[in-house]
Structure 1
Amino acid sequence: MLKKSLVFCLTIIVIISGFSQAKAQTVLEDSVMNGNNFQKAAFRLWIGSETESVTGVIVLVPGSNGNGRTMVEKPEWQALANKYNMALLAAHITDQRSENMAIERYVNVSQESGQAMLDILDRLADKSGHPEIKKAPLAFWGMSAGGQFNYEFACWKPERVISFIVNKGGVYYTALASKATRQVPGVFLTGEIDNPYRNEIVEGIYAVNRRFGAKWMFAEEPGQGHEFAKSEAFALKYFDLIIPIRMQESGLTPLPSSGYLASIENHDIIEDSTRPRPRGVTSWFPNRQIAELWLTLFDQNE
């Protein structure tokens, strides 16, 4: 009986020891104050417990001056990051006081806020023991001013961006993006009942760049105002499709030269080699699956 008891106790000790040695998730923070175009730039990094080497970073940016750092705790974003061995980076960026706080200066990333993010990411890479993060590609999800930040980052450092999402924002600093940025897959979203000035600004930037071959898509969500719940669910599904297209062991892969088109008016999907092409402004998709996901944005029952 004593021998059996000793074996049982030893087994329990081994099990507990195994639990204590299990690798925990990594959560780190860093910040910088009083930059050229921001008051504070603070970020929280999350890396899943099973991720041995980080392949990329999903960047989550909230609306105007908002604290979005708790977004790294959302199970759906963690699941997506784990699926592709990626990290999550969530932001809290605030403007310096000005006479018009509705003009977010920090979204003009080339003026210092973008470099602040990269510098903080480099420091967090060292702290986490994942130096590969310093060169990892970035996928940007944002809301309102967060989408503005995303677009301007893609304009500033297109070679670093997997994809970006513009989501019902209103203040932009770049109208015609570079050719390199136009080759980065982008999603532009407005809401049918959002403020007209926001919609017109987003539509205008989209249209001028799409005219010159931007591989982007556009959707005006029916019945939506300045709201984000539905578009966040779409973003999760979209990233799940675009990340494996873009990320390869050799680095970021260019989008295919041919894909699919759809008129933003009638939503008919065709191969982009089809002639004649649809009249008016179109959306572009790298494959049929992403095109069909885009259609779900117009379903008010989703």
Structure 2
Amino acid sequence: MKSFAPLLLVLAAMEGISLSQNAPYDMPPTVEPPYYRVRYAASSQPAELSYPVAYTVWMPPGVEKLRGVIVHQHGCGEGSCKSGQTGAFDLHWQALAQKHRCALLSPAYEQPAGTDCQMWCDPRNGSDNAFQTALTDLGELSGHPELAEVPWALWGHSGGGHWAGGMLMLHPNRIAAVWLRSGVPLFEAVEGRNIKPHTLPDAALTVPTMCNFGTKEGYTDKESRFKGVWPSNETFFKAMRSRGALLGIAIDPLTSHECGNSRYLAIPWLDTCLSERLPETNGQPLRPMPQSTAMLAPLPVDEAAFTAAVPAAEYKGVLATSIWLPNEAIATAWKQFITDSNVADVTPPPAPTDVQIVGDQLTWNAAADLESGIGHFIIERDGKTLATVPEKPLNRFGRPLFQGLQYSDTPTVPLATMRWTIDKLKPGETNPYRVRSVNTAGLISP
């Protein structure tokens, strides 16, 4: 990958130069610190990546040394690949990264329409090497060279789940946790498809992993376009759990292949895993996931199986088909998620900061609520509500979000901005406006 002249590509990306990108990949959001981007051209060399790829990273402000990197990996096809361009800008995922002093990285593979997704979502076809090259180059560019060495937490959707699971098979000792939304690695060849089986190493069994997919992906809807997702997840699950893997299943009761409200379980789950596994000192190995707090539940096969998890020591079912959950709090959230996806939240979001007026523009900054993100903002003047921003929060894939939501769980474009047009203040008039955050659970900030 070094042959792709990454420095030139980095500088070009920072200046907004397309470097022969073709639509729909020629207009990614611009970057400036704390965002950084590198882009690599396609290669015709064996075992190197045959598609162009751009990696955008967000570095948590005020962090001297990173402890890890959270990777948000899109799925297959032009639409999903393009959606990867905004993944690092997601305020909700940034809140998770900030808490654990992690970078947030979002790749965007430039897969041409009608081509084979396996050429990138199987990491052995060059995307593993490209990813690790990007960590090195982005680390140097951002002043965080430790990015090349810190542990990874991987989230992947569809083909991105295939990629994240493949990376688990290749690099289990580098990975703190893995969330697989609607895609898993396979341990046997698939007739008629260019899918090479993976080998399951013992070290992968110790990495907390969650399989998450929609009920309409072959679980309740057997004729769906995505009907093969549940059978492949079930096969993967049984192969892993029969050997004691720390693996769970969370079936989204409302969706098909779209990500829906899965982030409201994925982010708390990853928060728990990162809290337990990330070493405090760089260079030390990942810590083992504690088993004293683990909860188990039966693998769902019908409505009667949606039962509450119990402490692992009290579980009476077959361990090889039990769902592993890290602790009671996650087990409670998991039970709510598989019931109606409405994971509860009782803590209000943090208040916005830096509320300013420039001309006729009211601007502010806000960190997302870790549990429930940002649904919208309330604009007040003299204690009275004037407006909400956006006026009508929308999201056809789940809870309404300030940033909106694309199919692959990334913000919509153009990126939402924290601003509202006001009547200009009179000379000497003090700022009469206040702003409140409202999370997606409806809780209001100070």
Deviations 1:214-269 (A, max 9, x none): 10101222231111031122212212221101112244101124522111222331
What is the Cα deviation at residue 154 of structure 1? 0.9
The corresponding residue for 1:16 is: none
Deviations 1:104-149 (A, max 9, x none): 2311112321111011110110111111111111111121111111
The corresponding residue for 1:39 is: 51
What is the Cα deviation at residue 78 of structure 1? 1.5
Distance in 2 between residues matched to 1:45 and 1:237, nearest whole Å:
21
CA contact (8 A) 1:54 1:133 kept: yes
The corresponding residue for 2:287 is: 253
Identify which of 230, 240, 265 aligns with 1:209: 240
CA contact (8 A) 1:141 1:165 kept: yes
Gaps of at least 5 residues in structure 2 are 1-31, 187-195, 218-225, 343-446
The corresponding residue for 2:68 is: 56
Report whether the alignment pairs 1:30 with 2:38: yes
What residue identity is the alignment partner of 1:168? Answer: S
Greater per-residue helix proportion: 1
Change (3 A) 1:276 1:236: closer
What is the Cα deviation at residue 151 of structure 1? 0.6
The corresponding residue for 1:289 is: 329
The corresponding residue for 1:183 is: 206
CA contact (8 A) 1:41 1:117 kept: no
Distance in 2 between residues matched to 1:161 and 1:301, nearest whole Å:
27
Distance in 2 between residues matched to 1:275 and 1:282, nearest whole Å:
9
The corresponding residue for 1:138 is: 152
SS at match of 1:69: helix
Gaps of at least 5 residues in structure 1 are 1-23
250-259 vs 129-138, which moves further: 250-259
Change (3 A) 1:176 1:196: farther
Change (3 A) 1:136 1:238: same
User: How many residues are aligned here?
Assistant: 277
Task: Give the TM-score of the pair, scaled to structure 1.
Answer: 0.84
The corresponding residue for 1:298 is: 338
SS at match of 2:55: strand
The corresponding residue for 1:19 is: none
182-191 vs 161-170, which moves further: 161-170
What is the identity percentage for the equivalent residue pairs of Structure 1 and Structure 2? 24
Task: Give the TM-score of the pair, scaled to structure 2.
Answer: 0.58
Change (3 A) 1:280 1:134: closer
Deviations 1:154-213 (A, max 9, x none): 111111111111111277444552111111110101211122112211221111111111
What residue identity is the alignment partner of 1:64? Answer: C
What residue identity is the alignment partner of 1:273? Answer: A
Which structure 2 residues correspond to residues 194-233 of structure 1 after superposition, within 5 A? 194=217, 195-233=226-264
What is the Cα deviation at residue 102 of structure 1? 5.6
Change (3 A) 1:301 1:117: closer
The corresponding residue for 2:87 is: 71
Change (3 A) 1:290 1:175: farther
234-243 vs 277-286, which moves further: 277-286
Distance in 2 between residues matched to 1:82 and 1:102, nearest whole Å:
35
SS at match of 1:252: coil
Identify which of 148, 160, 179 aligns with 1:165: 179
C-alpha RMSD of matched pairs (Å): 2.2
Distance in 2 between residues matched to 1:186 and 1:165, nearest whole Å:
6
50-59 vs 274-283, which moves further: 274-283
284-293 vs 154-163, which moves further: 284-293
What residue identity is the alignment partner of 1:38? Answer: S
Distance in 1 between residues matched to 2:112 and 2:320, nearest whole Å:
41
Distance in 2 between residues matched to 1:153 and 1:138, nearest whole Å:
10
Identify which of 258, 263, 266 aligns with 2:298: 263
The corresponding residue for 1:14 is: none
CA contact (8 A) 1:38 1:113 kept: no
CA contact (8 A) 2:161 2:185 kept: no
SS at match of 1:141: strand
CA contact (8 A) 2:214 2:251 kept: yes
